[in-house]
Amino acid sequence: MIALLNDFLVRATLAGIGLALAAGPLGCFVVWRRMAYFGDATAHAAVLGVALALAFDVSVFAGTSLVALAMALAVSSLASRGHAMDTSLGVLSHAALAIGLVAISFVPAVRVDLSAYLFGDILAVGVGDLAVIWGGALAVCALLAWRWSSLLAATLNADLASSAGIDPKREQLVLTLAMAVVVALAIKVVGALLIAAMLIIPAAAARGISRSPEGMAVSAVALAAISVVGGLQGSLAFDTPAGPSIVAAAAALFALSLVVSQARSRAQ
């Protein structure tokens, strides 16, 4: 069993499935609450996190999760103050990406493979990375499961949730935290530029085939895991980059789910 972990493809698959486990349910909230922008801005900030981690010689996971958390907090505080989000998010998100890329250019080139952080480096996942990814993913799942009912209520309507004694701001903070952790996990798997895709696409594909929020979360995990396996196999067969291949597989599943739900609604 342990010997299996010596195979890079097994490690890569396990890493991807670990990410799928956390990205599935979190991605559902991203879709339900229409916070796709939020995932993008947080993920872009992670590039700056990588630069800082390398500069100060701390672990990349710590660096990305801290900077992602700072960005996620900034974004949700802007949102709660009712700023015109579109522009300020565009500024924040792209500024973070650009400043991150500039900062990385100061790190000696031998130490950093930029494309690994932008597009992921899932085939180079080690056993240590695997432990971090699964630990983080399980923590995110536990957090979301613990707050599930309150999160759902706050997602449906903030005022209704308040009248039932739930603090929508606290639930937003839970999602913010989860987002920062998932971004830090995902940067190795699909890279900073495609993290939001792993959140949104499997969840969107799951919508057409689900009748309950829990069903949609479970389906999103399953679809994300299938995308990981399919994308990795495709990447091996056609010699394509792994991270983008996973996202392309997810997109193909999404297209398929559209066909399925169309056919279903016609059958009814």
Residue 81 CB neighbour total at 10 angstroms: 8
Q: Would you say 36 or 229 has its CB closer to another protein? A: 36
Query: 168 with 161: CB under 8 angstroms?
Result: yes
Residues near another protein (CB under 8 A) are 31-34, 149-150, 152-153, 155-164, 166, 204, 207, 210-213, 215-216
CB of 254 to another protein, least distance (A): 13
CB of 138 to another protein, least distance (A): 24
The alpha carbons of the chain give a radius of gyration, in whole angstroms, of 18
Q: Would you say 65 or 172 has its CB closer to another protein? A: 172
Query: 78 with 88: CB under 8 angstroms?
Result: yes
CB of 168 to another protein, least distance (A): 8
Cα angle vertex 139, ends 136, 144, to 5°?
A: 125
Amino acid at 159: D
CB of 154 to another protein, least distance (A): 9
CB of 82 to another protein, least distance (A): 9
Q: Would you say 245 or 257 has its CB closer to another protein? A: 257
Query: 234 with 245: CB under 8 angstroms?
Result: yes
Q: Would you say 64 or 155 has its CB closer to another protein? A: 155
Q: Would you say 111 or 211 has its CB closer to another protein? A: 211
CB of 228 to another protein, least distance (A): 23
Residue 9 CB neighbour total at 10 angstroms: 15
CB of 186 to another protein, least distance (A): 21
124-128 contact pairs (CB < 8 A, 24+): 124/8, 125/8, 125/11, 125/12, 125/15, 125/188, 125/189, 126/11, 127/5, 127/11
Q: Would you say 10 or 152 has its CB closer to another protein? A: 152
Give the whole-angstrom CA distance, residue 131 versus residue 128: 5
Q: Would you say 4 or 255 has its CB closer to another protein? A: 255
- Give the DSSP letter string of 194-262: GHHHHHHHHHHHHHTT-SSHHHHHHHHHHHHHHHHHHHHHHHHHHT--HHHHHHHHHHHHHHHHHHHHH
